Structure 1
Amino acid sequence: MSLLEVDGVKVHFPVKKGILFDRTVGHVYAVDGVSFQVEAGQTYGLVGESGCGKTTLGRAVLRLVDITEGSVVLDGTDLAKLPEEEMRTFRRRLQMVFQDPLGSLNPRQNIESILSEGMAAHGIGSNQDERREKIKTILAKVGLPANSLARYPHEFSGGQRQRIGIARALVLEPDVIICDEPVSALDVSIQAQVINLLEELQESLGLTYVVIAHDLAVVRHISDVIGVMYLGALVEEAASDKLYEAPRHPYTKALMSAVPVPDPEVEDLRARILLTGDLPSPANPPAGCRFHTRCPWKQETRCATERPELTDDGTGHKVACHWTAEIEAGTVSRTGGEVVGAVREELDDRLPVEPTL
């Protein structure tokens, strides 16, 4: 059994109107039937463009937003069905590192107060002196000096504040940490430091991560398995290297083609898939395949009416597309989109294997 199992999770927010906002006129389908599993000690990456539901899904796993339907099973216990009082004990085992390192820290509390608050709530340490000593140990693990305890969030740099956010999660000794865009607000040089820190902590403490990001290079660097989200649903899932070497869903292909290559000659000549049209509204998603309104290979007879299931090809590579095999074989013609450039064969071996962080 996997440590964390997310099965058919849906999060639908009601749209209300009226003078008192007491009339429901529809729903925003932020997350609409997502399933994935994370093994102990593994890192699961979630990628997709802004507004696809990644953050909402992460918050739903922690029950920070209500789950409309589905289950979130942690070590055999369905968190979606737990009363709030029982859920509190599991919150210690599930923690989150938020995207904004400054906005997620109370500016009126010093670092000792911020880090000891959760410990006191969960009964960790018999007194403040014990908690203080543990906090010093955790601060050392994330690379911050012990004299940080009396300082306030505004006195730290962005990278240091993100380390404080990581320390706040670690003091509760969790099993799973959900990292919501953990480096997007940081400079590139600091991003590498934080990513390396997360990897070191995972190795030394046996942590399990769910990393939510839109930076494909960061996700590839840290993840074992990657799920690609589009408009509230997973469209592809595979081992990290397999996904990057051979993306199979049209949306994933477009995402990968947009990743910049640090070689001007390759960047100018490689093929890029330009999607047409705007991202549909999650309050009114299209029927059938949700990507069909922008898909270069759409076939109206089926794509517009039948929603594809996320199907395993037998190797652990899962794709939600009616025409995956035909696209790979070249038997389905392009019906939209635009391809710019063409990669010369002699340049293929110059494409970077590992991302530059």
Structure 2
Amino acid sequence: MSLLELDGVKVHFPVKKGILFDRTVGHVYAVDGISLSVEAGQTYGLVGESGCGKTTLGRAVLRLVDVTDGKVVLDGTDVAKLPEKEMRGFRRRLQMVFQDPLGSLNPRQNIESILSEGMAAHGIGANQKERREKIKEILAKVGLPGNSLSRYPHEFSGGQRQRIGIARALVLEPDVIICDEPVSALDVSIQAQVINLLEELQESMGLTYLVIAHDLAVVRHISDVIGVMYLGSLVEEAPSDALYEEPKHPYTKALMSAVPVPDPEVEDRRERILLLGDLPSPANPPAGCRFHTRCPWKQDTLCATERPELTDLGGGHKVACHFAAEIAAGEIARTSGEVVPAVREGVEDVDPEVVATSGSVAEAHDDAAEAADAAEAGEIAVPSPRGESTDAEAHDAADPEAPAGAADGDAAEASDGKLDKDEPVRLDKEDEASEGKASEAPAGK
């Protein structure tokens, strides 16, 4: 049985209008029917673009926002239906590490007060002395010195403040920690330290994580299972390696194509799927599949009329797409969207002017590839680089009927007694003076 299970969770925020009557005119469908499960000791990564409802879902698990419908089951108990008094005890088992480490810490309290406040509320430690010893133990685990107790949040760096936030969650000995963008506000070098710390704590304390992030590289490093959210819905779920090696949903394919590859040769030759159009509003989501307005593989049937269910394709790989199997098999071609293809051998970087005339980067790549093929076949003349003309072209332009040798002889005679083009031109003092006067003359004279 899963430690944490979500079944059809919905979080809808009412849209009010009017000052006196305050009537509801609509809803924002921030989270709209999400089901997932997290095993004990597992890390579940939740990814998606900004505004898709990831943070709202994490807050709904803690009941920091009200759940409109569905179940949030922790160890067999539906947290969403618990009375407030009973929920207070359950909050010790569910803790959260927030995105902004400074904004989530009280600037008027020192570190000892911040960490001991939750312990006192849940009856951990018989007195302040016992709580202080417990806090020192936790601070040592997160890599902070014991003399930090009397210091205030503003006296620490960003990475240290995030460690304090992690320590605040750990002092209550929770079962599940929800990490909401735990490293997005930190430098890259500090990100690695915090991620490694979370993994070490999980191994030593048997923690279970729900990690919310938009950095796909971070999520892959720390997660066992990854869920992809789009416009309040879960569109794909799979083990970490399977999702990155073979994404099934069109939206996941587009996300993975945007992940940079360190190898420049691979980066230049892989396809990138560029989604067209804007993200629909969660207050007015499209009918049918939520992604069909931007999907490069959308079909005339089902996509715009019927909402797909999250279906298991085998091996724990679940996809909410009517045509996921057909797309994976290559039976359905792209119907829209823009794809920047791999750079073919012999085709250099595309000229921006060619992009402007072709209408898109993909068409410009195609035009450049066709030109390269024609040049190899000898069907067209290949212009010299940087607009320079060859000797034959210069001869033809001067006199098409004259032999090439004559043109070369004339050029040799014309060059006698004159400066070589590679030698720098030197001015006499009189020439320099006259040139300076000319440059100082006002315009128009």
What's the TM-score, normalizing by structure 2? 0.77
**2:79 aligns to what?**
79
Q: Structure 1 residue 184: deviation in Å?
A: 0.2
Instruction: Give CA deviations for 1:149-203 in whole Å, capped at 9, x if unaligned.
Output: 0000000000000000000000000000000000000000000000000000000
Looking at structure 2, the residues matched to 184 and 262 of structure 1 have their Cα atoms a distance apart, in angstroms, of 20
**2:309 aligns to what?**
309
Paired AA for residue 78 in structure 2: D
Given that residues 266 and 343 in structure 1 are in contact (C-alpha distance below 8 angstroms), is that contact kept between their aligned partners in structure 2?
A: no
Looking at structure 2, the residues matched to 201 and 151 of structure 1 have their Cα atoms a distance apart, in angstroms, of 24
**2:186 aligns to what?**
186
Paired AA for residue 143 in structure 1: G
**1:218 aligns to what?**
218
Question: Are the structure 2 counterparts of residues 322 and 143 from structure 1 closer, same or farther at C-alpha, using a change threshold of 3 Å?
Answer: same
Q: Structure 1 residue 47: deviation in Å?
A: 0.2
Given that residues 251 and 291 in structure 1 are in contact (C-alpha distance below 8 angstroms), is that contact kept between their aligned partners in structure 2?
A: yes
Looking at structure 2, the residues matched to 238 and 204 of structure 1 have their Cα atoms a distance apart, in angstroms, of 26
Matched residue of 1:302: which SS?
coil
**2:252 aligns to what?**
252
**1:143 aligns to what?**
143
Question: Are the structure 2 counterparts of residues 134 and 328 from structure 1 closer, same or farther at C-alpha, using a change threshold of 3 Å?
Answer: same
How does 1:243-322 map onto structure 2 within 5 Å? 243-322=243-322
Q: Does residue 5 of structure 1 match 2:5?
A: yes
Given that residues 179 and 209 in structure 1 are in contact (C-alpha distance below 8 angstroms), is that contact kept between their aligned partners in structure 2?
A: yes
Paired AA for residue 118 in structure 1: G
Given that residues 297 and 336 in structure 1 are in contact (C-alpha distance below 8 angstroms), is that contact kept between their aligned partners in structure 2?
A: yes
Gap runs ≥5 in structure 2: 346-445
Looking at structure 2, the residues matched to 315 and 220 of structure 1 have their Cα atoms a distance apart, in angstroms, of 18
- Kindly indicate which of the two structures has a greater share of residues assigned to strand: 1
Question: Are the structure 2 counterparts of residues 252 and 21 from structure 1 closer, same or farther at C-alpha, using a change threshold of 3 Å?
Answer: farther
Given that residues 288 and 307 in structure 1 are in contact (C-alpha distance below 8 angstroms), is that contact kept between their aligned partners in structure 2?
A: yes
How does 1:1-357 map onto structure 2 within 5 Å? 1-20=1-20, 22-342=22-342
Q: CA RMSD in A?
A: 1.1
Instruction: Give CA deviations for 1:293-338 in whole Å, capped at 9, x if unaligned.
Output: 0000001321000000000012210000001111112111211111
Q: Structure 1 residue 20: deviation in Å?
A: 3.8
Gap runs ≥5 in structure 1: 346-357
Instruction: Give CA deviations for 1:230-262 in whole Å, capped at 9, x if unaligned.
Output: 000000000000000000000000000000111
Looking at structure 2, the residues matched to 64 and 328 of structure 1 have their Cα atoms a distance apart, in angstroms, of 39
Paired AA for residue 103 in structure 1: G
Q: Structure 1 residue 12: deviation in Å?
A: 0.1
What's the TM-score, normalizing by structure 1? 0.95
Looking at structure 2, the residues matched to 223 and 168 of structure 1 have their Cα atoms a distance apart, in angstroms, of 22
Question: Are the structure 2 counterparts of residues 344 and 143 from structure 1 closer, same or farther at C-alpha, using a change threshold of 3 Å?
Answer: farther
Question: Are the structure 2 counterparts of residues 290 and 21 from structure 1 closer, same or farther at C-alpha, using a change threshold of 3 Å?
Answer: farther
Looking at structure 2, the residues matched to 342 and 324 of structure 1 have their Cα atoms a distance apart, in angstroms, of 23
Matched residue of 1:34: which SS?
strand
Given that residues 270 and 344 in structure 1 are in contact (C-alpha distance below 8 angstroms), is that contact kept between their aligned partners in structure 2?
A: no
Paired residues in the alignment total: 345
Looking at structure 2, the residues matched to 46 and 159 of structure 1 have their Cα atoms a distance apart, in angstroms, of 22
**1:351 aligns to what?**
none
Q: Structure 1 residue 270: deviation in Å?
A: 1.1
Question: Are the structure 2 counterparts of residues 247 and 121 from structure 1 closer, same or farther at C-alpha, using a change threshold of 3 Å?
Answer: same
Given that residues 268 and 341 in structure 1 are in contact (C-alpha distance below 8 angstroms), is that contact kept between their aligned partners in structure 2?
A: no
Question: Are the structure 2 counterparts of residues 287 and 123 from structure 1 closer, same or farther at C-alpha, using a change threshold of 3 Å?
Answer: same
**2:364 aligns to what?**
none
Instruction: Give CA deviations for 1:13-39 in whole Å, capped at 9, x if unaligned.
Output: 000010247110000000000000000
**2:401 aligns to what?**
none
Matched residue of 2:331: which SS?
coil
Question: Are the structure 2 counterparts of residues 50 and 107 from structure 1 closer, same or farther at C-alpha, using a change threshold of 3 Å?
Answer: same
Flag the structure with more relative contact order, 1 or 2, with Cα contacts below 8 A and sequence separation at least 6.
1
Query: Larger Cα Rg: Structure 1 or Structure 2?
Result: 2
